[in-house]
Amino acid sequence: MSSEPVVEPRSLRRQAVTPWLVWTAALLEAALIGFSPLLFRRQFAASATDVNLDLVAFLATIALVVMVFATAGALITRKQPGNLVGWLMLVGGPALGAVFLGYLVGVVLADSDPATASWFVLAGVVMFGPALFVLGPGLASVFPDGRLLPGRWARVAWLSATAIVVGAVIAAFAPGQLEESITIANPLGIAALPAGLRAVADTLTTLALGVGAVVGPASLVVRYRRSSTEVRHQLKWFLYAGVVWALVIPISLIAEETWTAILALLALGLVPVAVVISVLRYRLYEIDTLINRTLVYVPLVGVVAGIYAGMVALLQRAFTALTGDTSDAAAVISALALAAVFTPIRSVIQSAVDRRFKPDASSASSKWDDPEFRAAVETIVRDIVDRPSPDRSGLRN
């Protein structure tokens, strides 16, 4: 019997090496973003110390999010090379890093070296639309199996992706200034082209992202209605992370503070974590417990904070009326009162959430109406179907 080693095909070797090359590129981008205050120490030292600290924290968070996306993509492509979900996150991580790195270096070098700065800003401008599309509507449209829904869903997704690519190409060659806030001309701009091309590129990108923002979540709803229990739990992980991020974004836009932007980026980092958990099916069914706890503790924190603030204000007014001065006793009394009512409030909210969202197996007309029992049966059946059949000819012999 021949013992010659099996030679791995070139395509398989390339498929195994490519994720790590892309991941390495993301690592380099993250390092440049995170350590940019050291690389451009003179420019960062020109601003106030508190602004510096906020900016350093913001840049470190960007670097973290880039690496989380790239690492999640590398993990999935290693386990499931044919799943487009992993490849989108793997490519989307460096694309997002290119946007931030391009604008960061471009702004820093705008005065000292405008020629070099123009290329970095151009990279940020060109990659802006594709990065957002890949990590947003694109990822939502193919989650969790890596395939688009057939029919009009696939057509709309491809049209949106095409519009994003066309917009990026137009922005790359549109003449004139790259950004309104950065007085740098496009180094690839063709002067013979119309001056309003950049507006056309922005319009295409905005329309494509808007359509994708509707089609992506809608396709998730359709998948949820058509899917089995396990796929529904996968979708719950993804939707949970997406909803958390969607709730934080308005806060960031309204407050316009660095710490809220950091919070929004950290919430965005939950998306790749949820994707890895759901696609690789690790502790998949604990998402119901996580949703239950979120529905309990988010309103609980709001209620407790409101009661505490109200009691402190009321007691401070009472102390001022009685003694003519404020007192720290107001905060102490409020804290003691909250300690007494915290558990009853939590119990009330927990009971309300359980009645609305937790399945009641005792009220089911049959055992099959219990979702946990149905999920267990589906798992057993799937294991039996996927199990290789024995060699019957060998048994006969």
Q: Kindly list the domain boundaries of the chain, sorted by start residue.
A: 15-282, 291-385
DSSP 182: E
The pLDDT tens digits of the residues spanning 348-387 come to 888 877 776 555 544 444 444 455 555 665 666 566 555 5
d(CA 168, CA 127): 7
Residues in the chain, total = 397
DSSP 282: S
Q: What pLDDT is stored for residue 11 in this prediction? A: 57
Angle at 122 between CA 199 and CA 41, to 5 degrees: 130
Q: What pLDDT is stored for residue 306 in this prediction? A: 74
d(CA 241, CA 273): 9
The pLDDT tens digits of the residues spanning 198-246 come to 899 999 999 999 999 899 889 998 998 888 777 888 888 888 888 888 8
d(CA 167, CA 126): 8
By CB atoms closer than 10 A (0-12, 13-18, 19+), residue 147 is: middle
Report the DSSP beta bridge partners of residue 185.
177
Q: What pLDDT is stored for residue 227 in this prediction? A: 83
By CB atoms closer than 10 A (0-12, 13-18, 19+), residue 198 is: buried
Q: What pLDDT is stored for residue 364 in this prediction? A: 44
- CA 171 to chain centroid, in Å, comes to 26
Q: What pLDDT is stored for residue 8 in this prediction? A: 52
* Contact by Cβ (8 Å): 192, 173: no
Q: What pLDDT is stored for residue 284 in this prediction? A: 52
pTM above 0.75, yes or no: no
Q: What pLDDT is stored for residue 168 in this prediction? A: 95
At 376 the three-state DSSP class reads helix
Task: Write out the two tokens for 78.
Answer: 């290693």
Residues lower than pLDDT 50 in the chain: 1-7, 361-369, 392-397
Q: What pLDDT is stored for residue 283 in this prediction? A: 55
359 preceded by a cis bond (ω within 30 of 0)? no
Q: What pLDDT is stored for residue 381 in this prediction? A: 56
Q: What pLDDT is stored for residue 244 in this prediction? A: 85
Amino acid at 314: L
Q: Which residues are CB-contacts of 396 (< 8 A; sequence separation ≥ 6)? A: none
DSSP 137: I
At 367 the three-state DSSP class reads helix
By CB atoms closer than 10 A (0-12, 13-18, 19+), residue 253 is: exposed
CATH number of 15-282: 1.20.1070
Q: What are phi and psi of 76, to 5 degrees?
A: -70, -40
Look at residues 11, 172, 29 and name the one whose alpha carbon lies nearest to residue 100. Answer: 29
Alpha helices in the chain (DSSP H): 10-34, 36-39, 41-45, 49-79, 84-109, 114-133, 139-142, 152-173, 197-226, 229-255, 258-268, 270-279, 287-323, 329-357, 371-386, 392-396
